Structure 1
């Protein structure tokens, strides 16, 4: 009886066998459908997140352009150029004495794409001469801009997309020869390849060869995790077949060429042959030689195992294997094979691509772009950002600060430095946010709001000089005790740094010697409201404190904001928002956003001429005299020292004919530093100026400015043959109406005595100016 029941159940179960089969097939169909959707969605959609690339300014070459040979070679090295005897390929250069011969790479500049160009010139006395382009005299040539960093997503992948038609045939042939010789024959999975790999591994008695196709490798990188399991391998094979079902071999190959991982630069993964070509060889993919293409194909098997910088012999062996396979497949000639094998493994001088080479400046770029772009777009859309950074100036500024820190000895441990360099057009050429070059932390240049100290004094003087009928540089004012009642009921009584009373001094002397009492008295006379308004015009900031202490710099500003304020002194009365970005292209090179400069006149050039004269005197005979311990003696510049209370902040803001530099020295704890503006910020500024190329400041009197000889002691008109006089500029008819006779001096001044602003000797600055008239 039991047996018959069992047989009945068995018959019943046998009749139901199609059900699980159908369920299994249905489940498999659903899974395949879902997998097919995943394959198509990612492949047809947005395949990669492309970081935005930030470029420095292109180095422009023209007759007489200031350029030192060591700076040029530094930039060429940073650009990845190879130094050779006779440059023939893009990315090569030669130097013979003062002559340079450069094969510039093609580049899609902001103004338009330019092809490979041969540039030849000499550097004579740190200036460009005999400039030729493609064997013809040229007025202007330029190198391609240096890539200084990028704006990345969190995964930190970097790549440069290329189309298959851009890839040289021998690059494709080399890749297929070593990675998947049956690529155009299989359907995603190669049974022949798997069998060949198994046999090779069996003979070697170890794992020496894989059986994955290029399609499988793409699937592994594009869709799956790095997990090693039979399940993942089975999924990989299904995805590969589905991929081959929907897309052509060329589409798959192009995607693989752009996706493959080929190395690391710092924390960033280098993906794709396009970027790897520039990373390893400093040239675009289409410009690779046969031996270089074989090296890239060799690296594809394992970037760590075949790192050409670390294992050149190992890479050479595999490269030669690639070349042998190409020869066997009749893809290259015997002559090409022999020539390529003779080539050494030669990669860029340094495979050190720091993702953010100059982090403080890149921080500024990001902040500028945040006004117009979402963070996601900047990190994923592959924008090409053309910035204003001058790498030569940036690097020399870093060196100047390192030298300053070395001179400080043990005190350097507690000090910090920030600096900003601006061109005459308002472009930011360099930013330092920390004493350690490349530090990616707190950006003091942009975010450290520190008391500006005596940097405020030119603002007070400018306010007064805007009333030429009342105030001139020759006007005398008391430097005696001054007091101002405050709203709190207290009385503010500022002191000079030396606690001395200097009597009556000219407004020029007040600024050059940085007298606090005289400055406050002047500000009190012209009115605090007017001083506030001058601050607003210079800074563009409407939130200026209603406090008389702003006249001595009790106002928190960052070095970048100070640079914006001092740009108006530098430009002669014009204000602009400092610029770090020139324009933006999409990843195809189409211009999508330009950032032109907007300049507005806010002060009359005649008044600003007086300010430049006075600030020039600060360096020649005032608190900025120490600058000439570092700068050449024939350099003409202007500026102002700044020291905050208790010497917590040391500043200098100054300019030559074409560069404005602001430097700050202090510490993050806001403790006293024992440094004044003259011994801290000025030293940093002067060391920067001694290292970068620039023009001397030339004071050309604009219409409405007249020069007169004035007696220092009285501020009245005098004569050029008198002692104790100086040649001062005046706006309109504001010069004194009265004259005084030449004073009688008891003892002649020794001709070697340093120029002074008080006493009876005419300042050297005035004789120099007279000679330039």
Structure 2
């Protein structure tokens, strides 16, 4: 019996496989479609991510831009006291070049007493812009006789732009000077387009022709070159890295197209000009053509010749390979290629091409290494800024800081400290390790103009502010000021300079000695301060108390903690030169305190003023008290420990005080003219004795420094509460100009002397007797004439000798009050 065939065998074989095959195809197609869709979605998301990456950075904060710090500008106006040396130095600091035709900014020409200067201009804020201008001025006898400008100026003041003194750099160590496209010379743009991307204005971010040319050359063994457009180069530098991978190149191309979709060619070109890496300055990179121009030529981009611009463009291909300082021949060859490219596309004439390739590289031999010309001053600016701004804002936000630095004054300070310290270091073994500090300010405004606080290499230790040393006799004027303010003493009073012993709280005794080892007994007030006697200062200080002394220092702006022991009266308190500058600034201004500061204005990258330092002036000392204190400090110069200052000119009426500490460890001098208040400290960092006093150590530096400046006299107006009278020196009593010990001195009207000297009394009696005799003689003559004429003699004209003498004796006690009233009426 046959088996029945299976059910499946009843169908054809092809029919059996049809359904599963269709199902598999459909599944595969579906999966493929899903993959494509997912891929497209992922690609879209990736493109969106890249797009956001581009827009976020390009429209946001593109770079961390360092803050730039500048000096104050040089103000020029009719009759300003400016000499040739000042103008010459300022132009050198700005790197102006002599040019008879002065057609470019940053050039000048001098002929005899005449100057023609083509300024660069400067932006102090959005509302305070100095445009470039041509100045013509004549200087005669160290004064501007006439001045003219091509720009209208209602104020009559023309400013030579400030000098750059340094920067505050971002943590990524990138440095750049951002320039706008309109400030970039057209030849540089032409050179860049001709060399890097001739189709820049035609393509949409990627050049197919350029890529094809690069591939062909690379495969055929031709010159190895890339096909990257300027847009792609910007993407690589701005967003990506230099990895040679397909992924990076793909991202570069995509992002280049996206960038071109969002932004104009000009925006892209400007970003490229500021982003491109063009060298290394120590640990900081040189980014952008603006900074590269300063780094290689010490000139703004706008002042470069065509050949110099071409050199910078050529370096974009490889800043290390074409570094003009290390590889001058390679750099020159590359520069000439760029010039030839310009010639080829017609943006440079044959004549200009021939002239340009014949030029030397003209690169400066030694660029600024990123260190400030004036590091000590810059350090103080940074400290002041850190009190107000966050550190990141200072490093990254492109702030412009106009400081109070006067470069001419600063250079004078540098020279004086360097030369005089070198002289002093050769005097003995104790002075070999000698160091010094100098601070100087405008007393009226409180503007710091010069600082020397470190050696030849700035290490971060700025002695001007960090060296807290005992100040010695610099604080004695505070003691004498207190005595004068009390009314118990005047400038002619007697002070006891005999030995004194003070009982201390710990049961021990303190017996100060004078530096000359002698006791001087009763001395006059001005002699005690002029000769800086210790014993008299301690006696006077203890009379009013340590607490009073401390309160006076607070009034003068001293914020450091003052120890509560008697030796502080002789300066055994640690203060810095900047602290003492603040004290003497008050003395120099008639008793007004204006905090010492180093910043005028802070401007953000949009030109908005964030900070403007105004005059924050307040009265610290009554004008009468300060007037007398100033007179006493002038006596230190005229007759005391600072007599050598008179060599600067007796008509300047300079004032100041020497300071010397125990064992001659520190030497100080603080003093002022009408326009400068300056403090000098000399000593050793290890606090060992130097064998120099204030007069032999610090004073020579101070005198040398001030001799280099244009000083104005100290001319303090006499307050209403001051009278000038003849006083007996070393007693303070009223006197007469004919007395041997009489001195003509200012006295507070509220505390006029009530006693007269014996010499003055005797002279008054003699004068009155002489007047009475003359009057009696005149009356006798009149009476005799009346008798001859037979006339009666009136009774009231007969002199009673006894009554006349009584009246004279009674009036002696009132004579000086009448004299004082007479002074007041005058």
TM more than 0.5: yes
- For residues 191-270 of structure 1, the aligned pairs below 5 Å read 191-197=208-214, 207=224, 209-229=225-245, 232-270=248-286
Matches within 5 A, 1:109-508: 109-110=124-125, 112-134=128-150, 139-197=156-214, 207=224, 209-229=225-245, 232-280=248-296, 284-285=300-301, 290-308=306-324, 315-334=331-350, 337=353, 345-346=361-362, 351-352=367-368, 354-407=370-423, 408-409=425-426, 413-424=432-443, 425-436=445-456, 439-468=458-487, 470-508=488-526
Is contact 2:68-2:164 (8 Å) kept?
yes
**1:770 corresponds to:** none
* 1: CA distance, partners of 2:624 / 2:435: 38
Q: Deviations over 1:203-229 (max 9, x none)?
A: 98765x443321222122112234455
Match of 2:635 among 617, 640, 651: 617
Query: TM-score, normalized by length of structure 2?
Result: 0.81
Give the drift of 1:267.
4.2
Partner secondary structure for residue 466 of structure 1? helix
Contact kept? 1:384, 1:584, Cα under 8 Å: yes
Does residue 577 of structure 1 match 2:604?
Answer: no
In terms of fraction of residues, the more helix-rich structure is 2
CA distance in 2, matches of 1:487, 1:91: 68
Contact 2:493–2:729 (8 Å) recurs in 1: no
1:685-718 alpha-carbon deviations (Å, 9 max, x no partner): 1221122222232354333333344454555555
Query: What residue number does 1:759 align with?
Result: none
Kindly state the Cα deviation for residue 516 of structure 1 after the two structures are TM-superposed.
Answer: 0.6
Deviation at 1:56, TM superposition (A): 0.6
Deviation at 1:89, TM superposition (A): 1.1
CA distance, structure 1, for counterparts of residue 432 and residue 252 of structure 2: 56
Aligned to 1:755: none
Name the CA distance, whole Å, in 2 between partners of 1:87 and 1:348: 21
Over 3 Å counting, the alpha-carbon distance change for 1:75 and 1:349 in structure 2 is farther
One of 70, 77, 83 as aligned partner of 1:62? 77
- 1:78 aligned residue: 93
**Larger deviation, residues 87-96 vs 358-367:** 358-367
CA contact (8 A) 2:657 2:669 kept: yes
Counterpart position of 1:526: 544
Q: Which moved more, 1:14-23 or 1:255-264?
A: 14-23
Q: Give the deviation of 1:270 after TM superposition.
A: 2.8
After TM superposition, give the deviation of residue 314 of structure 1 in Å: 5.1
Distance 2:526 2:755 in 1: 19
- The 8 Å contact of residues 632 and 690 in structure 1, kept in 2 or not, is answered as no
Matched, 1:49 2:64: yes
Evaluate the alpha carbon distance shift between residue 316 and residue 452 of structure 1 in structure 2; reply closer, same or farther with a 3 A threshold.
same
Q: CA RMSD in A?
A: 3.3
- State the distance in 2 between where 1:726 and 1:317 align: 82
Q: Give structure 1 stretches of 5+ with no counterpart.
A: 1-7, 743-773
2:130 is equivalent to residue 91 of structure 1: no
Question: Which of 371-380 and 134-143 deviates more?
Answer: 134-143
Confirm or deny: 8 A CA contact 2:114 2:138 kept in the other structure. yes
Which stretch of the first structure deviates more once superposed, 242-251 or 11-20? 11-20
| Conserved? CA contact 2:421–2:435, under 8 Å | no
Is the contact between residue 512 and residue 614 of structure 1 (CA under 8 Å) also seen in structure 2?
yes
Q: CA deviation at 1:645?
A: 2.0
Distance 1:511 1:226, change over 3 A: farther
Deviation, 1:461, is 0.6
Q: How far apart in 1 are the matches of 2:247 and 2:390?
A: 40
Residues in 1 aligned to 2:603 and 2:152: alpha-carbon distance in whole angstroms? 31
SS in 2 for 1:80: coil
| Alignment partner of 1:678 out of 695, 706, 712 | 695
Q: Deviations over 1:269-307 (max 9, x none)?
A: 332233334555566545655445434323333334444
Greater mean deviation of Cα atoms: 193-202 or 555-564:
193-202
Deviation of 1:521 (Å):
0.4
Aligned to 2:816: none
> Aligned residue for 2:554?
536
Q: Aligned partners of 1:575, 1:269: CA distance in 2, in Å?
A: 44
Q: Which residue of 2 aligns with 1:750?
A: none
C-alpha distance after superposition, 1:391-444 (max 9, x if no partner): 1111221111110221113655522222211013110111222132x6141122
- 1:526: how far off? 2.5
Confirm or deny: 8 A CA contact 1:268 1:355 kept in the other structure: no
Deviation at 1:186, TM superposition (A): 3.2
Matches of 1:713 and 1:393, distance apart in 2:
41
Report the CA distance between 1:520 and its aligned residue.
0.5
Quick one: distance in 2 between partners of 1:551 and 1:77? 48
Larger Rg: 2
Instruction: Give the drift of 1:556.
Output: 1.4
Tell me the CA shift for residue 527 of structure 1.
2.8
Question: Could you tell me whether the CA contact under 8 Å between 1:266 and 1:352 is conserved in 2?
Answer: no
SS at match of 1:392: helix
- Judged with a 3 Å threshold, the aligned counterparts in structure 2 of structure 1 residues 479 and 204 are, in CA distance, closer, same or farther, namely farther
Q: Distance in 1 between matches of 2:321 and 2:197?
A: 19
8 Å Cα contact 1:168/1:286 also seen in 2: yes
Deviation at 1:599, TM superposition (A): 0.7
Number of the residue aligned with 1:769: none
| Cα distance in 2 between the residues matched to 1:721 and 1:101 | 61
8 Å contact 1:52–1:382 — kept in the other structure?
yes
* Counterpart for residue 751 of structure 1: none
- 1:60 is displaced (CA, Å) by 1.0
Alignment length (residue pairs)? 730
Tell me the residue number matched to 1:562. 580
Deviation at 1:233, TM superposition (A): 4.0
State whether residues 80 and 348 of structure 1, in contact with CA within 8 Å, keep that contact through their aligned partners in structure 2. no
SS at match of 2:695: coil
Distance in 2, matches of 1:198 and 1:736, equals: 107
Cα 1:583–1:541, aligned 2, differ >3 Å: closer, same or farther?
same
What CA distance in whole angstroms lies between the structure 2 residues aligned with 1:462 and 1:385? 38
Q: Cα offset for 1:349?
A: 8.4
Note closer, same or farther for the CA distance 1:392–1:348 as it changes in structure 2 (3 Å cut). farther
CA distance in 2, matches of 1:316, 1:148: 32
Work out whether residues 157 and 271 of structure 1, in 8 Å CA contact, stay in contact via their aligned partners in 2. yes
- Write the distance in 2 (CA, Å) between the matches of 1:616 and 1:297: 63
TM-score by length of 1: 0.86
